C-alpha cells in the first residue's frame, strides 16, 4: 500500500465503475485503501490490480479512511445497508439516479458521479470523463473536488435534480444512440453488407457535435423534408414494423424541429 | 491545370459532396478538369479552390474528359437533363437513393457513392470514407475503382438494392443518432447544464462500436429492464409528450431485443 498521501479513499463495489474508478485513483496522488465486496474473492481480485486491500467487512473502513465511494447497484443503497458503514467518514455514491438524501445516514456525504459508459473490456481515459459533484457542506464538496480533480480535468457541480435530467439526457445520447447503431447494423447484415461501411459515418456523426450543436448539423431526408425518400424508406422497412414505427416517429420529430426554427 | 495523368474527371455540382470530392480528386494522381454548375459564379468559385476550370455548359465536357461525376440533388437526375451530357464518357452519380438504371441514357455508367455526412464547415479525411461502387460493365467498374482507390482506402462493391438498404441504415446511424444528441442537448439546456458534460459520453459511445457490435455493448435502464428508473424517467419527461413517446418506443425496442437474445 502507498503512504504519504493526504486523503485516503475506499471503494465499495467491484463492477465497471468500481474497476475504472479504483484504477484512476490508484494512479493519482490519493491513497486507495480498501476495495469492499460481500464476495471477498472479487474484492481481493480487484484490490490486487490496484494495490489496495480487499475486504468484506464494512466495519474495517472505520480506522484508516477519509472518503468511502459506493460504486454499487442503486438497490443496495438502503438505510439498513448504509448504517453498517462507519460514521466518521465522507460517504458518497456514484449513481446517476439516486438523490443525495439517501445518504443522510451519514453526517458528511455527497455525490461522486462519473458520466460515462463503462465496459470492463475497454480502457477509458479517466482524465476526460466528466465527474459531477454534490455535497451536503462546503467542506465535503472541497474534499470531493480535490479527489475529482486528481483524476479528471472535467469536474462539474451538479445538484440532484440536474443529475436526474443529465441521466435522462445520457439515455438519449448513449443508450438510444447505441440502439440506432444496432438497427443500422441489422439492416446492413440483412443486405449482406459489412457493418464496417457504416463505422466511419458513426465516428464522424459523433465528432461533428463535439464542436457544433446537434441542431446545427442535422442532415438527412427528414431534415430536408424529402417526402419521396421518406416514403420509399418506410416502404422498404415493410418487414420490420418496429423499425418503421421508430423511423416514422423520429422523422416526425426532426420535421417538427425544423418547423420551429 | 495538371497534366500527365491518365484519367480525367469532371464534377457536376458545387454542394458539400462536390466540394469534398473535388478536393480529394485534385489531391490525387487524377486530373480534375471541370467543375460544372448552372451558376457559373459558383462553378468558378469551387474550380478556383481545386485548380480546375469552372463552366456552365455541359457540352464542353465532351472533348477532354473520361469520367463525369454527378454530385447534384436527386431531382436533377432526369433523362432530359442527363441527355445533355456528352455520350462518350463514363457517367456516374453520387446518390444514396437513386438506382443505377436512371443512367441508361449513357452507354458507360455507374455509381460513385461516398458514404459520409458532409458539412462545408468541417474538413474530412477522404482516405477513410467508404466509397460504394456499382457499374454496368467490368471495364467501367475498373475505371471507377481506380479513381476510388486513389482517394480512399475503403472501396466497396455495392449494388443498387444494397445501396438503398445502406442509405436507410445511414439514416439511423447518422440522422436519427444526431436527433438523440439534439434531445439530450435540449434536456441539458433546460436544467442549466452545459452540453460539454455529455460530449465525452457521445464520443465514447461511438468509439465503442468501432470494435464491437452495438448489441454487445448496449447499456442503460432499458437494457437492464430497470422498470423503476424507466418509470421515473418517463414521469420526469412529462412536459415533453414527444420525448416521452420516443423514450417509450426505444425502450420497448431494447427490452424486446434482450428477450430475443
User: How many angstroms separate the CA atoms of B161 and A119, rounded?
Assistant: 36
Cβ pair B32, B50 in contact under 8 A: yes
> What letter does residue A127 receive in the DSSP assignment?
G
Cell representation of residue B261: 437474445
pLDDT digits (tens, 9 = 90+) for B239-251: 999 999 999 999 9
Cell representation of residue B234: 418517463
Other CB atoms within 10 A of residue A213 CB = 15
Other CB atoms within 10 A of residue B114 CB = 22
Task: Enumerate helices (H) and strands (E) in chain B, giving the number of each.
Answer: 9, 8
pLDDT digits (tens, 9 = 90+) for B67-119: 999 999 998 999 999 999 999 999 999 998 899 999 999 999 999 999 988 77
A182 to B257: CB separation less than 8 angstroms, yes or no: yes
Chain B residues with CB under 8 Å of A97 CB are 229, 232
Q: Please determine, for residue B218, whether its predicted confidence score (pLDDT) is greater than 70.
A: yes
Q: What is the DSSP string of B52-103?
A: -EEES-GGGGSTT-SEEEE-S-GGG--HHHHTTS-SSSEEEE--SSS-GGGG
Task: List the one residue out of B52, B57, B54, B48 whose CA is nearest residue B31.
Answer: B52
Instruction: For chain A, give the number of residues.
Output: 261
- Which CATH class name applies to A163-260? mainly alpha
- pLDDT, residue A102, reads 96
Cβ pair B112, B69 in contact under 8 A: yes
Choose the closest CB to A166 out of B115, B193, B247.
B193
Chain A residues with CB under 8 Å of B242 CB are 253, 256
Chain A residues with CB under 8 Å of B232 CB are 97, 164
Q: What is the ipTM of this complex?
A: 0.90
Other CB atoms within 10 A of residue B2 CB = 13
Residue at grid coordinates 447497484: A73
- pLDDT, residue B260, reads 79
Vertex B227 angle, CA A157 and A129, to 5°: 30
Q: Please determine, for residue B216, whether its predicted confidence score (pLDDT) is greater than 90.
A: yes
Can you give the residue ranges of every domain in chain A? 8-158, 163-260
Which residues in chain A show pLDDT less than 70? 1-5, 121, 261
B166 to A246: CB separation less than 8 angstroms, yes or no: no
Q: Please determine, for residue B4, whether its predicted confidence score (pLDDT) is greater than 50.
A: no
Cβ pair A238, A244 in contact under 8 A: yes
Cβ pair A152, A131 in contact under 8 A: yes
Instruction: For chain B, give the number of residues.
Output: 261
pLDDT digits (tens, 9 = 90+) for B36-81: 999 999 999 999 999 999 999 998 887 778 999 999 999 899 999 9
Mean pLDDT of B117-137: 87
User: How many angstroms separate the CA atoms of A86 and A132, rounded?
Assistant: 24
A208 to B124: CB separation less than 8 angstroms, yes or no: no
Task: List the one residue out of B54, B55, B51 whose CA is nearest residue B30.
Answer: B51
User: How many angstroms separate the CA atoms of B205 and A181, rounded?
Assistant: 10
B8-158 maps to which CATH number? Answer: 3.40.50.720
Task: List the one residue out of B219, B171, B53 whose CA is nearest residue A198.
Answer: B171
Chain B residues with CB under 8 Å of A124 CB are 204
Q: Please determine, for residue B261, whether its predicted confidence score (pLDDT) is greater than 70.
A: no
User: How many angstroms separate the CA atoms of A9 and A33, rounded?
Assistant: 6
- The confidence band for B180, taking pLDDT boundaries of 50, 70 and 90, is very high
> How far, CA to CA in Å, does B100 sit from each of B77, B95, B157?
11, 9, 13
Q: How many CB pairs under 8 A join A and B?
A: 311
User: How many angstroms separate the CA atoms of B26 and B21, rounded?
Assistant: 9
- pLDDT, residue A119, reads 73
- State the angle between helix axes of A177-190 and B241-260 in degrees (0 to 180), rounded to the nearest 10: 50
Q: Which residues of A9-20 are buried (b: 16+ CB within 10 A; e: fewer)?
A: bbbbbbbbbbbb
User: How many angstroms separate the CA atoms of A54 and B81, rounded?
Assistant: 75
Element (H, E) at A67: strand A67-70
Q: Which residues contact B110 (CB under 8 A, 6 or more apart)?
A: B90, B91, B92, B100, B103, B133, B134, B135, B136, B140, B141, B144
A-interface mutation test, from B127, B161, B179, most A Cβ less than 10 A away: B179
Amino acid at each position: 500500500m502507498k503512504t504519504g498521501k493526504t486523503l485516503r479513499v475506499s471503494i465499495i463495489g467491484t463492477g465497471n465503475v468500481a474497476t475504472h474508478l479504483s484504477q484512476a485513483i490508484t494512479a493519482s496522488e490519493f491513497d486507495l485503501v480498501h476495495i469492499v465486496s460481500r464476495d471477498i474473492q472479487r474484492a481481493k481480485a480487484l484490490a490486487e490490480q490496484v494495490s489496495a486491500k480487499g475486504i468484506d467487512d464494512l466495519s474495517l473502513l472505520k480506522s484508516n479512511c477519509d472518503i468511502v465511494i459506493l460504486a454499487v447497484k442503486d438497490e443496495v443503497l438502503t438505510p439498513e445497508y448504509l448504517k453498517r458503514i462507519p460514521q466518521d467518514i465522507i460517504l458518497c455514491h456514484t449513481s446517476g439516479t439516486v438523490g443525495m438524501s439517501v445518504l443522510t445516514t451519514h453526517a458528511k456525504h455527497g455525490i461522486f458521479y462519473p458520466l460515462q459508459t463503462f465496459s470492463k473490456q475497454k480502457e477509458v481515459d479517466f482524465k476526460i470523463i466528466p465527474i459531477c459533484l454534490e455535497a451536503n457542506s462546503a467542506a465535503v464538496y472541497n474534499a470531493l473536488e480535490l479527489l475529482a480533480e486528481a483524476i479528471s480535468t472535467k469536474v462539474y457541480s451538479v445538484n440532484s435534480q440536474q443529475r436526474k435530467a443529465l441521466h435522462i439526457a445520457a439515455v438519449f445520447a448513449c443508450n438510444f444512440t447505441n440502439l440506432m447503431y444496432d438497427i443500422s447494423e441489422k439492416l446492413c447484415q440483412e443486405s449482406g453488407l459489412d457493418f464496417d461501411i457504416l463505422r466511419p459515418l458513426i465516428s464522424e456523426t459523433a465528432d461533428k457535435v463535439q464542436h457544433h450543436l446537434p441542431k446545427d448539423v442535422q442532415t438527412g431526408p427528414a431534415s430536408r423534408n424529402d417526402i419521396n425518400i421518406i416514403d420509399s424508406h418506410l416502404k422498404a422497412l415493410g418487414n420490420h414494423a418496429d423499425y418503421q414505427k421508430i423511423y416514422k416517429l423520429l422523422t416526425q420529430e426532426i420535421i417538427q424541429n425544423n418547423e420551429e426554427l
